[in-house]
Structures are given as C-alpha cells and as structure tokens.
Structure 1
Amino acid sequence: MSKPAYVLSVNMGYGHDRAAYALKELADGGIIKMNDYPGIPKKDKKLWTESRKGYEAVSRLKPIPLIGDIAFAVMDKIQEIADFYPRRDLSDPTYQVHQTYYMIEKLGMGKHLIEKLAKKPKPLICTFFTAAFAAEVYDYPEEIYCQVCDADMSRAWVPKDPKKSRIKYFAPNGRVVERLKLYGVKEENIFHTGFPLPREVIGDLQNSVAKKDLMRRICNLDPEGVFMKKYTKTLESELGSNSCEIKKHHPLTVMFAVGGAGAQRQLAIDILTSLKSTLKRDGLKLHLMAGTKKQVFKDFTHAVNKLGLKSLLNKKLFIDYYSDRPTYFREFNKLLRKTDIVWTKPSEMSFYCALGLPILMAPTIGSQEDFNRTWLMYIGAGVDQADPKYTNEWLFDWIKSGGLARAAWNGYMEAPQHGAYRIEGIVTGEKMEVETLPMIV
C-alpha cells in the first residue's frame, strides 16, 4: 500500500533523523536522507559531508578548554536564537539564511533530489530547513512541511521572505508557534502538533503502551511511596485503579544517551566510575548508549575494562552500539520502554519526557539546548545533573524522595504525546480525535 508522503531528513546529529523515524508510517520509500541517498550528485555529497564534519568536529572540541570554547562560541553565534522578549519583528534573514540560499540557488544543493521526487509528487515532510527551502526554490508541486526539532528555533529555519513562502511548519510546542510568528511566518502556515514520537512507545491515541510503562516506572522511581501516597487519586484517575499497587518488573534502569557528535563520552565515564560499587552490589542496570558511534563504543569498552567491570557486561552494565541508524532507532525505542531515567543533554530527547521519562540534564551544547532545558524545567520534567563524581549519592537521594517519579509524571501530563498522529491528520486530511495542545511556552 502506497504511503501518503515523502519524509526527508539529514544524518547530522540524531535530532532530524529521530523526528523522521517517528513519521516512518507516512514515508513512501522510507526515510530519504537528503545528504545520503542513492544517486546523490558528487557535488551535493561533498557539500553535505564538509558541513557535517564541521558540525561534529566543533561539538567534539567543546570539552577542550579555550580551543573548544572559542570554536563553539563562533558556531553558536551563527546559530544564535534571539531573546523572545520584548516581542518584535525578527523577520529579517540572518547570515545563515543567506548562506543556505547560496548553496541552493548558486551551487544547486538539493535540486537533483527535488526534481526526482517531483516526477511523482506527494506531500513533503522535511525535518531540516534546507530540504524545505530547496523544495520551494525548485517549485516542488506539492505541499511542503517542515518539522521543527527543538523547543525554540533560530531564524535559520525560516526562508528569506516568510510572508511569501508556502512552507508549512509543525511546531513541537507553543514557544515555537509564537517564535515562527515573530519570524514572519503566516499564522495559517503554523500547526501546533507537538514533536512526533514513535507510535510503538505510545501505543495509540489512548496511550495504551505509554501508560503501562509509566505505571511500572513510577514503582521503580518511588520505592518509598512518597509520590504515590500523595497523588493516589490522581494516578488512579489516569492510569487505572490498581496503578499504585503494581510490583517491580525490572531493576532500576538508567540510560545515558550520548549525542550524535559524541561530545559527552567523558561524562558517561565519570558516571560509570561513580556507580562502580553500586553496580556490583545493588539492583541497578546502567545502559551506556553509544548509538552509531564506534569510537564512543570503544571508549566505553576501554573504561569498563579499566574499572574492572567487564564481568557485569550484558548483565547489569550494557554498552549499546549499532552499525546503522534504522537499527539504532528501533532498538533504542524498545529499550526506552524498560528505562526509568534518561540522562542526556537536553536535545530533541527532551520531548521524550512525554512518555513519563524523567530527564536528567547534562550540560547543554548550543543555544537550542539552552531553550530545551528551560522548557523541561518549565513543565517540571527535567532536572540538572549534580556533580557526576557523586552520582552514587545524589541519584538515590532523589529517587528515595519521590522527586524523579514526580518529574516522570509531569512529563507525561504536560508534554504532548500525539505529534505523529496530528501530523498524519494534517498531511492526509483525515480527522484525528486528539486534544488541542495548550500554549506552553
């Protein structure tokens, strides 16, 4: 059966691909990588490769004193998100917008792919702005949608002349809705959908899978019953009458997820060092998520061996590495269902708090992550990490207090779960019985 749209992504970091993967049910021909598809011209491939290498190199340099700070400050300044208040006209294109259009209009970036897709046109869903810009420049004959992947966005995501543009935006939260208006995007071209989450971890519009997972998770996150005793009626009204009488189905499970550029591998090693004794003694599982980064996997393996923890591998301690992104996303989503705490920088993973996953926030990398952090704290679903050298102390204090159970509940109640369903309804014209999202900014 033919699917209703083309879904375009790029494999720069994980954010754009993660959003695209959640829309795979809509994607005719699977997820199309604008920077890596069969038949991509060598010129396009070279442009994309140089761009990605630059991004990942700067991200890896970030932890290095002085050099990393300078390199990242320059890149971050180019991608800077202006202060929202006072509200004002921010529609003038930035240097990055002009640079993107130069690559499209003068160097032909994306022309080959857009013309190829135009031979059998379908609505186009882009999880990266360059793809949407190219589709408009080259007169793609169908609807063009662009999914924003963070809780706020820079002017780079909006075309040179937004008032004349026909690109339609899927906004993950209320702040992005309002930001798009400041950038000059017409209100009728803005859809407040929420970030698309994979259906396999939601279940359906009634959250059948997410609810079951949350019930089990709260049991692990609230061993003293502090949170459950206080909110028994509230929990039972949403999760069912026996939600506060569930038994443990798995040991307390923590996942540390390294970003696509592998910038925070040293932090994971610090956490592992702190939890060494706890892993040997108590009922804790720790997943070090290397994703598709082979060097990160090697670094983690070296650290495990150095700390004398090799005997715990694949029992209490796991190093998760995958050779390709589709496998990574599929297995990652399976693992999320058995995870109690996600420890990561506030990337697009911030939106996964909607599953009832508390987010332990590692230090941010870039303006967009600063805004993701603010959003997580605003809805009460994320908390900054304390000193990772003392994880074995503060993490369990937070669990005993019921604080992380509260964060899990806040994320489930406040963050949107049904972005993928709303997007399907918009693209296909089918009516979806989903609630209207509040304007959480």
Structure 2
Amino acid sequence: MGRLKKKKNHKHEKKGVCHVVAVDMGYGHERPANALKDISYKGEIWVANNYKGIPKKDKKMWTQGRELYEAISRLKPIPILGHYIFEAMDRMQQIPPFYPQRDLSKPTFQLKQQDRFIQKGLGKDLVERLSENPLPLVCTFPLPAFAAEMHGYPGDIYLVCTDSDISRSWVNTNPAKSRIKYFAPTGRVVERLQMYGIKRSNILHTGFPMAKSLIGGADSKIIRKDMRRRLINLDPYRRFFDRYYTTLEQKFGKAFCRQEQPKSPTVAFAVGGAGAQRALGINIAKSLKNHIIKKKINLILVAGARREVASYFNRELKKLKLDKHVEVLFEKERRAYFRKFDERLRDVDILWTKPSELSFYTGLGIPIIMSPTVGSQEDYNRLWLQQVGGGILQHDEKHTHEWLFDWIDSGALARMAWNGFIEAPTHGIYRIEDAMLGRDSELPPHPMIV
C-alpha cells in the first residue's frame, strides 16, 4: 500500500465491506471496533473472547487473562504492593525506547507462548466461522489477527493499532513472512512497525478510527460545528479568539469568529474499562461542588458499562448531595455505552481521563486533562498528547475548583482544543473504509511525526 493520493470527495456510505473483530478487555480495543460498525458485515462486531458458541476451552483462557488484567489494574493505586504487582505485569508488554533505532524483530517469550496456544486451537473456531464468508478481516487486537493467519483465513487480514506507540506484542513471531496489513494511528507507529520487521508496503498510515457521527465527512462538518461551541465556552474572555482571530477567520470565515455568550463548560471524567481511578471522579465532584450547584460548570462521570462503578458514583454523589446535579453515564451493554458516549461527547467541552485510546479524541477539538497513566502504552500516549499540544497533566484534583477555572479564564484549554484539531488525526474511519474498497483516499496524507 503506497502513499495515499488526493482525490475528489466521494461517498462514505458503503456497508458490509469487512468483518470486524475486537476483544472486550478494557475499552481500548472495542471502542475503535464500534466506530467501524458502519462498514462491518451486517453491522456486527465479533468479540473474539465472548461470542455465541465460543468453545469452552477458548472462553476459559480468555476469561482468565481478562480477569487478571482488570484485577491488577485496580490494584495499582494501592501503595507499594499494588505498584510492584502492576509493574511486573506491565514489564511484559513494555514498549522499548525508540532511540537508538535498531532491529527489534526478535519475538518475545510471551509471543512464542501465545503462538503455542494458537497452534493448539485458540481462535480456530472463530476463524472457521468467518471463513464461510471471507470478507477482509479487520481486528483491533493482535491475537485474533495472528490466529487468522495461522489457521489459514482465506481473506485479507488487517490489524488496527490502538495507541500512539506500540509494543512488540502487536507483531507476530515471523514478521518477514506475515501477510497481515496494519492501520497505523500515528507516524511513530508506522516507524515502530518497521523496527519490528513489518514491510512498509503492509502499513497504511490512517489515523485512529472514530465514529462518523463525531466527524461529519471528509470536510469535518460536525467537528467544526462542535469545536466552535467548545471554543466559545472555553474562552469566556476571548483571549484565545483575540490572539488567533486572523488564523480562525482564514480557516473558517468571519461567522466562525462571531462573538457569542459562552455557556457553562461541561467536563466529562471517564474511567477506564477496568474501573480504576473511580475515586478520582468523586474527588473532582467534591472540589467542584459549589460551582456545580451554582451552574458555573457541568460534570459528567462516565462509568461506562461497569455497574459497580456506576453504583459507587451514585452512592458517593448522594452523600455529597450532588446526585441531582451530576450526570452518571452508564449503560449495561457495552455497545450501548459506546453509542451513548459518542452522543454525549458532542456536548462535552473538556475530557478528563487517563491517556488511553481516548487521547486521539483531542482531534475532535477537545482538550484532554490527563489523570495518572496505567501502563507503558499510556506513558507514550501522554507524551504524544503533550507533543501535539492537545492535553495536559492534571494538578491535584482536590484543588480542581482553582486551577481548572484558571485554565478556562486564560484561554489555555481553548488553545489545547485548537491544537488537537490542527495536529491530531481524525479521519481514520474514512481512510480504513477506502482501503477496504481498494480506492485512493481524497484525504491528504498525515505528517509522519504524529
């Protein structure tokens, strides 16, 4: 796959062009898969570790792995013990330093062990089911893609990388002979994959796939509309607008720069799929309590699809007498959660979360306040967010009522929203769709650095 050629806009309404496979370990692999539902066969998302008819032995292996990951992720905040247990797990999937550039194609012990499980039949049942209609196969987690290749899936196999940098676990034990093609969200992932032994012709620099409902086509109609509202709310004294007026007018026209009365900003705090950092959300609510009651700011606590996290939020908010003032976003079904999250995100002005796959959402013109990282990949996502200028590390959440309003009043968060929009990729879903249809994209190529 060579460099994308610019072309006139074409429709992005084709459905049923591929099979999409994810896993439900956290949200990082399932969220991009759900963004791809518009082009998946019958709108289906296959969850490799949890589908109807999955063999019991497969289910057992997957379940043990997921439960271990989630349990250790929740242990991390525990002083000393939790830190050391998490560090031991994280070391197995750590991303090595990029420099000096070198050959990193040698497989890890964990990859060799994973190969043995696949050789014994892990994933074979799913591959056989999908082979009955061998459309291109798009995976958002490495193991199903490796299984498809090892078990002879007859169609093309693609793998969507879901972080700004990746570990060796994303490439199988024999990269030189692998026919898996990669969708890279950043230029760094393009380079990293080559260090791991993947041929450049098997890598397409697409950006991270986000739902079409958040973007609005190749010309970003929805992004522009939502970002204008955010910039107004995040720049009450027009310090950002005054400084960047000429740039904004040239980019979007005078109507975009028209002065309007800002509304109270909306902050969404999102916990990860393992439910870690839930206490942080309540600390934020405590600090902002008076401002929330006075309607100077709105708060959404995103519990995702974890009932115990939603129950915790509701219980603690009731103690604070904020249960009538703070929204708790919870859906018992994961796909319903992703859909609801995308709907509510359009009204969100600030996203507060650990630097997970949600880091890429700064491209929608949303500033990201970063909570502490959980895992090596999030350390790299944090660096990437800082590099593009779309995110910043949180200060002490107990003093949110002070520093957050300083950032709003100064126009700093408006500037981050603008930086994210300008620098971060947003149209991954459209580039992936074009690749599935075998056509050139009308979108310009990404710069390699981001």
Q: d(CA) in 1 for partners of 2:287 and 2:313?
A: 14
Structure 1 residue 437, shift from structure 2 partner? 0.5
8 Å CA contact 1:215–1:239 kept in 2: the answer is: no
Q: Contact 1:270/1:389 (CA < 8 Å) preserved in 2?
A: yes
Aligned residue number for residue 4 of structure 1: 17
Q: Which residue of 2 aligns with 1:392?
A: 401
- Please state if 1:336 is matched with 2:345: yes
Paired position in structure 1 for 2:420: 411
1:79 and 2:79 matched: no
Q: Deviations over 1:311-358 (max 9, x none)?
A: 32xxxx101110111111111001111000000000000000000000
1:280 equivalent to 2:293? Answer yes
5 Å-filtered alignment, 1:163-312, equals 163-248=176-261, 250-312=263-325
Given that residues 216 and 248 in structure 1 are in contact (C-alpha distance below 8 angstroms), is that contact kept between their aligned partners in structure 2? no
- The CA distance in 1 between the partners of 2:368 and 2:15, in whole Å, is 37
Q: Deviations over 1:8-33 (max 9, x none)?
A: 00000001011101111111141111
Partner of 1:425: 434
- 1:10-21 equivalences under 5 Å are 10-21=23-34
TM-score, normalised by the number of residues in structure 2: 0.95
Q: Which residue of 1 aligns with 2:104?
A: 90
In the alignment, structure 1 residue 123 sits paired with structure 2 residue 132: no
Q: Deviations over 1:12-56 (max 9, x none)?
A: 000101110111111114111111111111111111111100010
Q: Which is worse superposed, 169-178 or 228-237? A: 228-237
Identical amino acids, percent of aligned pairs: 51
Match of 2:363 in 1: 354
Measure how far apart 1:407 and its partner are: 0.3
Equivalent of 2:386 in 377, 397, 409:
377
- Distance (whole Å) between structure 2 residues aligned to residue 2 and residue 290 of structure 1: 31
Aligned to 1:36: 50
Instruction: Note if 1:63 corresponds to 2:72.
Output: no
Alpha-carbon distance, 1:248 to partner:
4.7
Dislocated runs of 4+, deviation >4 Å: none
Q: State the Cα distance separating 1:424 from its structure 2 match.
A: 0.7
Q: Of the two structures, which has the highest relative contact order with CA contacts closer than 8 Å and spacing of 6 or more?
A: 2
Deviation of 1:2 (Å): 6.1
| Shift in Å, 1:250 | 4.7
Name the CA distance, whole Å, in 1 between partners of 2:407 and 2:155: 51
The TM-score normalised by the length of structure 1 is 0.97
Long gaps (5+) in structure 1: none
SS in 2 for 1:349: helix
Residues 15 and 38, structure 2, Cα contact 8 Å, conserved in 1: no
Give CA deviations for 1:127-165 in whole Å, capped at 9, x if unaligned.
Answer: 000010000000111110000000000000101010010
Superposed displacement of residue 310, structure 1: 2.8
Question: Which of the residues 335, 345, 348 maps onto 1:326?
Answer: 335
Q: Deviations over 1:261-288 (max 9, x none)?
A: 0111011111111011111123311000
Coordinate RMSD, CA, aligned:
1.1
Residue matched to 1:148: 161
* Aligned residue identity for 1:124: L
Quick one: distance in 1 between partners of 2:296 and 2:216? 29
Kept in 2, the 8 Å contact 1:250–1:338? The answer is no
SS at structure 1 position matched to 2:254: coil
Q: Distance between the aligned counterparts of 1:289 and 1:310, measured in 2? A: 14
Residues of 1 paired with 2:278 and 2:272: CA distance?
A: 9
Contact 1:89 1:184 in 2 (8 A): yes
Which ranges in structure 2 are unaligned for 5 or more consecutive residues?
1-13
2:161–2:185: 8 Å Cα contact kept in structure 1?
yes
In 2, the alpha carbon distance for the partners of 1:307 and 1:99 equals: 49
**Partner-residue secondary structure (3-state), 1:195:** coil
Distance of 2:133 and 2:399 partners within structure 1: 57
Structure 1 CA distance, aligned partners of 2:106 and 2:66? Answer: 26
For residues 105 and 257 of structure 1, the distance between their equivalents in structure 2, rounded to whole angstroms, comes to 38
Give the distance between the partners of 1:151 and 1:237, measured in 2 at CA: 30
Structure 1 residue 251: Cα displacement: 2.7
